[in-house]
A and B are shown apart, each in its own frame.
Chain A
Amino acid sequence: MAKLTIPAQELMYSGHAACPGCAAALAMRLVLKGLGPRTVVSIPACCWTVIATPYPTNALGVSVFDNPIESTGASLSGLRAAADALGYKDFHVVGFAGDGGTADIGLQALSGMLERRTNAIYVMYDNEGYMNTGVQRSGATPQGAWTTTTPVEGTSRGKPEAKKDIMGLVLAHRPTYAATLNPAFPEDFVRKVEKARDLTGSRFLHVFTPCPPGWKYSSEESIKLGRLATDSGIFPLFEAENGKVRITRKGGALKPVDEYIHAQGRFRHFTPEDIQAFQAEVRLAWERLLRLEKESL
């Protein structure tokens, strides 16, 4: 057998309740491969609450703390205080929350945790919408995308607003470590989890997780879409240690966004002009990132 390029240990059990092809399920599997068993995962209301606990079972081989949707950040501060009080050494306090529970509803708790410099790892899996409740738009939904609350009918043509710059919000707090991760690149993914694991302080991981029913594509394409998102510059891979930004994947020229857009039902209504506008935004964001890499310290 060829050498394994990511750890063999499995701490996410089969039999969980994610949709077929769910990249958020793969993301948890990879996160736990990197962290190991001495971990507590705090999960707010989101797809992962349902995935983790098909009653009366638990899909994770680590402790799970179930918390209200707005309080993941606060729960991490509390869990770390408890672990310290109990004298736990080499123990990972981890949040695993959706984009809605992080970038919208739980933003103040996240900001508080980062300001307190809580020694914990916050993982946001970004399926670009409130998926557990049936595909509503979130602050992380891309501009123009169809959701049930940003329909494509009458005068409505998908989400009018742009996607929030979540990494920008996080980096403004100057955490110990922040990175973007994509399960389509498992080796880079696990390397970043292990790097976060070995640092002390507030760490934030932004994970890109395509969602077949929410984005309207066929389940076997989850990895392909992830790869396209990074290779087109829509979800660039980078990390920031104490504010110093480094792009971790630069594949030469960026691919045009067309293939990514055409592969998904949520963009089916896009005209060539819509695609051009989307492309222009992606190029600008990429140039901003290149500049940040050069200038950040």
Chain B
Amino acid sequence: MIASELLAQAAFLDGREPQSFPFFGVERRGAPVTAFARIDDRPIQLRTSIEHPDVVVVLDPGLLHTTPVTDGLKEGGLLLVNSRLPPEEVVAPASVRRATVDATRIAVAHGLGTASTPIVNTAVLGALAKAAGVVTLDAVQRAIDQFVPGHRPENRLASSDGYESVRLAGPMEHGAPVLAHRLTPLITVPEGPLATRPSSDLHTAAWRTLTPVVHLEKCTRCNFCWKFCPDDAIGFDSNGFPVIRLDYCKGCGICAAECPPRTIEMVAEA
């Protein structure tokens, strides 16, 4: 949300007519959120969410595995992802131009946030200035000076690094299918009674920044992890060893903290 607001502020400083607003979904810590920005040379009257964007920016690369982020993206549109991967390896439909920037590394290098929760906004905005050309790097940096509450020099440097290091790839001959199936169902209003489906029809994997990995050789099968999981995201295999149900785990770390022999390790996802 902050990134979208800063983008709009930067566009304004460039003398354009921007608009920025969040999509209100589940506002819980870690839950993925969506924000929109429109930029034009004339005042914008439209007040609706954007269904067919020219550019999609993904701050959390984990979302690529769980959410159809390119749904609605225009033919020849741009997908910019915070990722270590080269853009050619980003999974997206053929017609999409891809760009990647390792904003997490940049943010950590400049001391923005922590390794598990890096603040990648400004590095990504620098990358966006180069890859999409909708705002200038200069305007992004002036917006940082005016609206970012702390770490301004570091944020300015992060935006320059993003600008310098973003990598681009054009449309490719063969696009990979985005996702084999939709994990987050489209919201359609049912005709009968509401809320008759279990919440387990929805997946919460995208809420996670750290993932529990069980080192079974130390496991004593004490069940503590299972007992304390607030998301009922732990089951057992036929030998009684714990299995994390990764579609649902939110990565809270309780299982790792409560495991007496310290069998579970929380690791950052690639």
Contact = CB atoms under 8 A, between A and B. Distances in A.
A54 B26 contact: yes
Interface in A207-254: 212-213, 218-224
A13 interface: yes
Contacts of A213: 29
B106 to A, nearest CB: 24
A221 B195 contact: no
Contacts of A56: 187, 189-190, 194-197
A57 B188 CA distance: 12
Interface string A14-49: 111111111101100100000000000000000000
A50 interface: yes
Contacts of B258: 223
A212 B29 contact: yes
A59 B26 contact: no
Nearest to A59: B199
A186 interface: yes
A47 to B, nearest CB: 9
A201 interface: no
B204 A53 contact: no
A42 to B, nearest CB: 15
Nearest to A64: B195
Contact of B252 (A21, A64, A224): A21
Q: Is the interface of B mostly helix, strand, loop or mixed?
A: loop
Contacts of B239: 1
A58 B194 CA distance: 9
B222 A53 contact: no
Contact of B198 (A6, A23, A58, A64): A58
B115 interface: no
Contacts of B195: 53, 55-58, 64
Contacts, number: 132
B31 interface: yes
B202 interface: yes
A29 B254 contact: no
A223 B253 CA distance: 11
B187 A21 contact: no
A25 B230 contact: yes
User: Of B28, B222, B252, B266, which is in contact with the most chain A CB atoms at under 10 Å from its CB?
Assistant: B252
A260 to B, nearest CB: 16
Contacts of B187: 55-56
A57 B198 contact: yes
Given A186-B227, A219-B254, A1 B198 contact: no
Interface string B181-213: 000000101100011111111111001100000
Interface in B215-250: 220-223, 227-233, 236, 239-240, 245, 247-248, 250
A20 B240 CA distance: 25
A17 B206 CA distance: 12
Nearest to A187: B227
Contacts of B229: 26
Contacts of A218: 253
A297 interface: no
Given A55-B195, A58-B196, A14 B204 contact: yes
B50 to A, nearest CB: 21
A224 B236 CA distance: 24
A58 B28 contact: no
Contacts of B196: 56, 58
Interface of A: 1-2, 4-6, 10, 12-23, 25-26, 29, 50, 52-59, 61, 64, 183, 186, 212-213, 218-224
20 contacts: A2-B222, A13-B198, A14-B199, A14-B247, A14-B248, A15-B198, A17-B199, A18-B231, A19-B28, A20-B29, A21-B253, A26-B229, A54-B26, A54-B199, A56-B195, A59-B198, A213-B29, A219-B29, A222-B230, A224-B257
Given A13-B199, A15-B200, A220-B252, 13 more contacts: A2-B220, A13-B232, A15-B198, A15-B248, A17-B26, A29-B232, A56-B194, A57-B195, A58-B195, A58-B197, A186-B227, A218-B253, A219-B252
